Amino acid sequence: MKKKTPSAKTKTSPRRGRVLANDACPACGTPMVEKRGTLRLPVNGDEIAVPSAAHLSCPKCGEVMLRFQDAKRLGEDAIARYRKKHGLLSADAIRAIREHFNLTQADLARLLRLGANTVSRWESGRNVQTAAMDILLRLIRDLPGSIDYLREHAA
């Protein structure tokens, strides 16, 4: 006797072969409920709490799931909170420094000897700059002539 395997397009419960609705808990099959609450996300080894994060929660087993857009927002909010907690420049502040000197993201990355997309990731809130890069960005912003020095010595 051949065992039936579910197709890749269906979602099945732990109970053999039962097809679940899109809003069903993947652990127990109970319909998930939309909620807002504090979720924690690791950022650079630091556990960051994000209050009022949208998510789906199972009322029966407590399983938590995130929709794609909610997961993206949670990541951005966690990075913003990490920056604030550690006194780092915000994504908007980094963009303002770059625009003040009429630099493209690629220009600033080249001056700082970074990968081509690094500045873009900082400005979009997808990644966090290191403390050392944060200090260098502040020097560029606050110390007259520092940008000229970097331009003269850029590789």
Task: Give, for all 155 residues of the chain, the pLDDT tens digit.
Answer: 444 444 434 454 455 556 667 788 988 889 999 999 999 999 999 999 999 999 999 999 999 999 999 999 999 999 999 999 999 999 999 999 999 999 999 999 999 999 989 999 999 999 999 999 999 999 999 998 999 999 998 75
Q: How many CB atoms lie within 10 A of CB 3?
A: 6
Note whether 99 and 147 are same-domain residues.
Answer: yes
- Residue 132 domain-assigned? yes
96 in a structural domain: yes
Count of domains observed in the chain = 2
Domain of 64, CATH number, reads 3.10.20
Q: Which uninterrupted H or E stretch holds 85?
A: helix 68-85
Q: Are residues 96 and 116 in the same domain?
A: yes
Assign residue 107 the CATH number of its domain.
1.10.260
The closest alpha carbon to 25, from 53, 59, 69, 74, belongs to 59
Judged on CB neighbours under 10 Å (0-12, 13-18, 19+), 30 is middle
The domain of 68 spans: 33-85
Three-class DSSP category at 81: helix
Residues 74 and 99 in one domain: no
Domain assignment present for 76: yes
